[in-house]
Amino acid sequence: MKKKIIIIDKMHPSIFPDLESEGIDFNYLPDISRDELKSIIQDYNGIIVRSKTNIDKEMLDLGINLKFIARAGAGTDKIDDAYCMEKGIEIFNAPEGNRDALGEHTIGILLALFNKIHTGDSEIRDGIWDREGNRGIEISGKVVGIIGYGFMGSAFAQRLSGFDCEVIAYDKYKDNYADENARAVDLDEIFKEADILSLHVPLSAETNGLYVPDFFMNFKKNIFLVNTSRGPVLPLSGLIQLLDTGKIMGAALDVLENEKLKSYNNTEKIVFNNLISRKNVVLTPHVGGWSFESYKRINDVLIQKIASFII
């Protein structure tokens, strides 16, 4: 019997012929609401989701015929993985599909921060030509510390290989992960040696809110920070404190603690307005892995994993 899946987020159109070529029956409902999904999920063996809704215990209990969940992206923090394991439901994600986009973007925002590209561009548009005020910093000669050396961290390290810098990496959950692009170290060496810290960790109960001022006070040097992982791992109120003291000399962020800007309460607005007023902060709207190429490549990865599972 054919497996039937539902796709609940907008996907690159290449997914349709790919699924058809594998003989997979699907319904494409990118505009479906959560309540609508709850009413029909029992009819499906699999679901492809990007970020529309949490696939939580409530949804999983309704999906009595679910065999797999495929996340069109790298992170799986919106899926209750423990309950999926309990129910025997497989989870597929596609970090292989957007690792290149993420690696390039991380280089891009670090270069923007170091070379003040954001401020230079803004000032010129306002008729200001300030060379000295936009003097840059070189990556060359720096020690770049990477926390989290999976697909994303290693993609960033690979792209640093031409910058004449030293790259050290720490990953709590991996063994023997050193490669030609990074030296594996313990966390203490990250604290001791890093000039730049780049976060590439998943969002989990352990990492949620982990990177607070107490963590950064372990660093021997004042550092520059890059976060292209998940916003909630780095509370912004703590980041403001670290920027105020100079412990963090500048930050490049592709993600925010709360990315729904229009939902901010007064406290969040105060912190956000403080952050965006700073010239030593570069912000992008969670687009690190979101290139035109990765949009399609994520499909390729997911279809391969789904087809292998169904076979």
Per-residue pLDDT tens over the stretch 51-91: 999 999 999 999 999 999 999 999 999 999 999 999 999 99
Query: Is 200 within 8 Å of 150 (Cβ atoms)?
Result: yes
Per-residue pLDDT tens over the stretch 152-196: 999 999 999 999 999 999 999 999 999 999 999 999 999 999 999
CATH superfamily of 97-283: NAD(P)-binding Rossmann-like Domain (3.40.50.720)
pLDDT at 310: 83
Question: What are the CA-CA distances from residue 140 to residues 79, 143, 163, 196, 221 (Å)?
Answer: 40, 9, 5, 11, 17
Domain ranges of the chain: 4-93, 97-283
The architecture in CATH of the region 4-93 reads 3-Layer(aba) Sandwich (3.40)
| Conformational region of residue 20, where left means phi above 0, alpha means psi within -120 to 50, and beta covers everything else | alpha
Tokens of 169: 């990496």
Between 96 and 3, name the one with better pLDDT: 96
Residue 25, pLDDT above cutoff 70:
yes
Query: Is 147 within 8 Å of 190 (Cβ atoms)?
Result: yes
Element of type H or E holding 178: none
Residue 1, pLDDT above cutoff 60:
no
Whether 230 is catalytic: yes
Largest CA distance in the chain: 69
pLDDT at 311: 62
Please, what is the angle between helix 117-125 and helix 95-115, to 10°?
A: 60
Please give the model's pTM, rounded to 2 decimal places: 0.94
Element of type H or E holding 26: strand 25-28
Determine which one of 58, 138, 259, 293 is catalytic.
259
Per-residue pLDDT tens over the stretch 235-259: 999 999 999 999 999 999 999 999 9
Question: What are the CA-CA distances from residue 100 to residues 94, 112, 286 (Å)?
Answer: 12, 18, 15
Q: Above pLDDT 90, what percent of the chain?
A: 97
Determine which one of 200, 230, 257, 297 is catalytic.
230
Whether 105 is catalytic: no
Question: DSSP code of 163?
Answer: S
Query: Is 228 within 8 Å of 288 (Cβ atoms)?
Result: yes
Distance CA 226, CA 248 (A): 10
| Angle subtended at Cα 31 by Cα 28 and Cα 32, rounded to the nearest 5 degrees | 85
pLDDT at 39: 97
The predicted model gives 279-289 an average pLDDT of 97
What are φ and ψ of residue 280, in 5° steps? -95, 25
Whether 286 is catalytic: yes
Determine which one of 12, 50, 278, 286 is catalytic.
286
At 3, the pLDDT band (50, 70, 90 cuts) reads confident
